[in-house]
Amino acid sequence: MYLVFTTNYFPWLTIIVVFPIAAGSLIFFFPHRGNKVTRGYTIYICVLELLLMTYAFCYHFQLDDPLIQLAEDYNWINFFFFIMWELELIPVYLLLSMWGGKKRLYSATKFILYTAAGSVFLLIGVLGIGLYGSNEPTLNLETLANQSYPVALEIIFYIGFFYCFCCQIGLLVLHFFFLAGTSYDRIRLGYLDEMGGLAIPIPKIFTIFSILSMASLALPGMSGFVAELIVFFGIITSQKYFLMSKILITFVMAIGMILTPIYSLSMSRQMFYGYKLFNPQNSYFF
User: How far is the C-alpha of 5 from the C-alpha of 70, rounded, in Å?
Assistant: 5
Residues 17 and 83 in one domain: no
- Is-contact 6 68, C-beta < 8 A? no
184-241 pLDDT per residue, tens: 666 677 677 777 788 887 788 888 888 888 888 888 888 788 888 888 888 888 877 7
225-246 pLDDT per residue, tens: 888 888 888 888 887 778 888 8
**Long-range contacts of residues 128-134, Cβ cutoff 8 Å, at least 24 apart:** 128/153, 128/157, 129/157
Residues 25 and 117 in one domain: no
Last residue of some domain: 178, 213, 234? 178
Which positions ≥6 away from 200 have C-beta within 8 Å? 277, 280
Last residue of some domain: 178, 211, 228? 178
Residue 149 lies in domain: 76-178
User: How far is the C-alpha of 277 from the C-alpha of 195, rounded, in Å?
Assistant: 9
Last residue of some domain: 117, 149, 178? 178
Angle at 27 between CA 21 and CA 32, to 5 degrees: 170
- Residue 139 CB: number of other CB atoms within 10 A? 14
Phi, psi of 109 (to 5 degrees): -65, -40
Q: What mean pLDDT comes out for the span 25-30?
A: 83
- Is-contact 16 52, C-beta < 8 A? yes
User: How far is the C-alpha of 49 from the C-alpha of 57, rounded, in Å?
Assistant: 12
User: How far is the C-alpha of 34 from the C-alpha of 70, rounded, in Å?
Assistant: 39
pTM above 0.95, yes or no: no
75-113 pLDDT per residue, tens: 677 777 778 878 888 888 888 888 777 788 888 888 888
Give the SS3 label for residue 203.
helix
